Amino acid sequence: MKNSEIQKIIDAAISARSNAYAPYSRFSVGAAVLCSDGTVYTGCNIENASYPCGICAERVAFAKAISDGRRDFAAVAVTGSSAEKCTPCGICRQFMYEFSPDMHVVCCDKEGNYSEHTLYELLPHGFGGRSMK
Ligand code: THU
């Protein structure tokens, strides 16, 4: 991953975080996915009074991209509103694994300090994707 590409999606994720609707947890999350064609889609977490209806920032970003016809992803950046680096939840890991098990996952704190992983490292032997090819 080029540093400029990583910085681009970190900035986009931090910006998307400002749209988070998180009145229950008060934990805002932003995500930005870099498609293999260079397009970037963003998402934020959206909570609900009926708690299980809520959705994570990552799945919002990916749903926007997938419903726009994208299928191949190079990287995703995730940022939460705390000093801890935000790592994707298990449901989001499986959701993303379906499309690009090798994509880079950039886990950021609120200021954009990050650690970089591959999705396969975060979800080894996940179901589908690679294991079905
Ligand atoms: N959340 C995300 O949006 N992405 C993550 O990777 C971790 C958790 C959201 C879900 C919920 O709205 C809030 O953060 C607290 O769990």
93-125 tens-digit pLDDT: 999 999 999 999 999 999 999 999 999 999 999
Active site residue 58: yes
Report residue 118 as tokens: 């591959």
CATH of the domain at 11: 3.40.140.10
The number of folded domains in the chain is: 1
pTM: 0.95
The binding-site residues of ligand 1, defined as CB within 6 angstroms of any ligand atom, are 22, 25, 27, 29, 45, 47, 54, 56-58, 78, 86, 88-89, 92
Tokens 């499986």 locate to 94
Provide the percentage of residues in the chain whose pLDDT is more than 90. 94
Catalytic residue, from 5, 47, 58, 111: name it.
Answer: 58
End-to-end CA distance of the chain: 24
CA of 123 to the centre of ligand 1 (A): 17
| Chain centroid to CA 104 | 10
Q: Which domain holds residue 20?
A: 3-132
pLDDT in tens, 45-87: 999 999 999 999 999 999 999 999 999 999 999 999 999 999 9
